[in-house]
């Protein structure tokens, strides 16, 4: 599949404000500053679609992007950002929890993790929570361009240490940039359910 069109649709503070559509949604989430917006822009070949920032916490709403008029990419707020009030963090957490468990058109969550480091405790806790709620997800390791060729050929730091995460569901792992992530993302579009 070739992406011909990718357009911003809306930013929503609540899942009930999201587009009223039966089109599938593929959401991207991760700790603040892990490269969500950059990855989305790379996938759709448009550097300006999702707003990027060197400052963590830029994404604060549920952002929908319509792809080829047939499915959505959803950019979710990052988690683990400490430079906001507890009230704001609670609000974001509640918004994400409801979206991830109630959104019927959500097909898959791509959990982004910095490949230079092993998954942090907050990453593991979040993925365990997804598994407990039976929310389908894939782990995507970003910032591989910051690793040396030797590290990529061997085992990147993110995989070397292991996850030690008691997940209830099998998890798919991807390293980015890698064309496989795009192919597998598109492959999921042909399925009515995310199967394990």
CATH code of 63's domain: 3.40.50.300
| Whether pTM exceeds 0.75 | yes
Q: Number of folded domains in the chain?
A: 1
| Mean pLDDT, the chain, integer | 75
Do 54 and 11 form a contact (C-beta atoms < 8 A)?
Answer: no
Instruction: Express each pLDDT in 12-25 by its tens digit.
Output: 988 889 999 999 99
Instruction: Express each pLDDT in 60-73 by its tens digit.
Output: 789 999 999 999 99
- Does 98 or 116 have the greater pLDDT score? 98
pLDDT above 90 (res 158): no
Domain holding 106, by residue range, is 6-189
pLDDT above 60 (res 34): yes
Residue 32: closest CA among 158, 122, 106, 102: 122
Residue 194 lies in a domain: no
Which residues in 41-77 are b (16+ Cβ under 10 Å) and which e? bbbbeeeebbebeeebbbbbbbbbbbbeeebbbbbbb
Residue 53 lies in a domain: yes
Residue 1 lies in a domain: no
Residue 42 lies in a domain: yes
Residue 196 lies in a domain: no
pLDDT of residue 153: 66
- Does 119 or 84 have the greater pLDDT score? 119
Sequence-distant contacts of 179-183: CB under 8 A, at least 24 apart: 181/43, 181/140, 182/43
Residue 101 lies in a domain: yes
Q: In the predicted model, what is the mean pLDDT of residues 75-82?
A: 76
């Amino acid at each position: 599949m070739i992406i011909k069109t990718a357009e911003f649709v809306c930013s929503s503070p609540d899942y009930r404000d999201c587009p009223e559509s039966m089109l599938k949604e593929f959401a991207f989430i991760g700790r603040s500053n892990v490269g969500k917006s950059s990855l989305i822009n790379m996938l759709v070949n448009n550097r300006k679609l999702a707003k990027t920032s060197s400052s963590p916490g830029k994404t604060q709403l549920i952002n929908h992007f319509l792809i080829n008029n047939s499915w959505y990419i959803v950019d979710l707020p990052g988690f683990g950002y400490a430079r906001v009030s507890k009230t704001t963090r609670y609000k974001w957490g509640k918004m994400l929890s409801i979206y991830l468990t109630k959104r019927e058109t959500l097909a898959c969550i791509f959990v982004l993790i910095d490949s230079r480091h092993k998954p942090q405790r907050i990453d593991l806790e979040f993925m365990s929570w997804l598994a407990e709620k039976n929310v389908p997800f894939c782990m995507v390791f970003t910032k591989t361009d910051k690793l040396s060729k030797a590290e990529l050929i061997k085992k990147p730091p993110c995989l070397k240490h292991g996850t030690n995460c008691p997940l209830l569901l099998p998890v798919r792992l991807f390293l980015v940039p890698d064309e496989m992530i795009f192919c597998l993302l598109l492959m999921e579009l042909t399925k009515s359910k995310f199967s394990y």
